[in-house]
């Protein structure tokens, strides 16, 4: 579904990604692991066209994404949940969700159907629907960011550090929503520091170091032999 081939990217003159190749198949959860600063978030931003690509190729369902603007990627079925969440803090929870609902082709029945689906996954968002997004806890804001992406009915979600800074109870809830999205057939490219969660949720993993993919293996293989995890992540 999503294929990165020999991707290079720069921040100004700084060469950040060096020939990154990653593949996510339809309905698959793929993990992207690595220490801080190795290029994981930059990889997601490069997919979304928010970082200057200076080599390589990205395709989605066989379509070359060169020149496709960020909003055009959303229309193709690619959703991004950034590390900073970036919810609209002054808008209510419901207004945040409606930013993904007020688009051509959706009638009111379909909008309500999508809202109800999200509320089933995140009951707290129903309770807080008239509350300003900026007044939510960190975990609730993360739920809102994921829920807002779900409003687009994406084929793939790029999840950047969804459990960062969250208490264990919230981490467990995020784990459950990753599983639920997988059951619904949504592909996920998951960037995480939480190694146990990623090993549990993903089917395959890529490990990055200094802007390069150093290792690629099934999650089952890495669970059985974690020497590579210790080598590159020190955990």
- Domains contained in the chain, CATH given: 1-77+155-235 (3.40.50.300), 87-153 (no CATH)
- pLDDT tens, residue by residue, 118-143: 999 899 999 999 999 999 998 899 99
Residue 233 has a pLDDT of 85
Residue 53 has a pLDDT of 92
Q: Name the nearest CA neighbour of 118 among 100, 91, 136.
A: 100
Residues ≥6 apart with Cβ < 8 Å to 101: 111, 114, 115, 151
Tell me how many helices (H) and strands (E) the chain has. Answer: 10, 10
With beta carbons less than 8 A apart as the criterion, state whether 39 and 206 touch: no
Residue 103 has a pLDDT of 80
Q: Alpha-carbon torsion 197, 124, 188, 86, what sign?
A: negative
pLDDT lower than 70: segments of the chain: 235
Residue 150 has a pLDDT of 92
Distance CA 120, CA 150 (A): 12
Residue 235 has a pLDDT of 63
Residue 86 has a pLDDT of 87
């Amino acid at each position: 579904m999503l294929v990165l081939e020999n991707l290079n990217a720069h921040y100004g003159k700084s060469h950040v990604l060096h020939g990154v190749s990653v593949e996510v198949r339809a309905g698959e959860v793929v993990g992207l692991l690595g220490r801080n600063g190795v290029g994981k978030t930059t990889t997601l931003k490069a997919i979304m066209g928010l970082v200057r690509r200076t080599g390589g190729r990205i395709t989605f369902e066989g379509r070359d994404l060169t020149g496709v603007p960020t909003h055009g990627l959303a229309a193709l079925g690619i959703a991004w949940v950034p590390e900073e969440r970036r919810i609209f803090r002054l808008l209510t929870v419901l207004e945040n969700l409606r930013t993904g609902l007020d688009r051509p082709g959706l009638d009111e029945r379909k909008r309500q159907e999508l809202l109800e689906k999200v509320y089933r996954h995140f009951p707290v968002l129903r309770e807080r629907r008239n509350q300003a997004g900026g007044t939510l806890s960190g975990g609730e804001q993360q739920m809102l960011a994921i829920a807002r992406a779900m409003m687009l009915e994406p084929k793939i979600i790029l999840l950047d550090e969804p459990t960062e800074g969250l208490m264990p109870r919230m981490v467990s809830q995020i784990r459950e929503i990753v599983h639920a999205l997988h059951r619904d057939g949504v592909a996920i490219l998951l960037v995480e520091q939480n190694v146990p969660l990623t090993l549990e949720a993903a089917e395959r993993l890529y490990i990055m170091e200094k802007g390069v993919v150093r290792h690629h293996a099934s999650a089952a293989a890495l669970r059985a032999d974690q020497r590579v995890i210790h080598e590159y992540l020190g955990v």
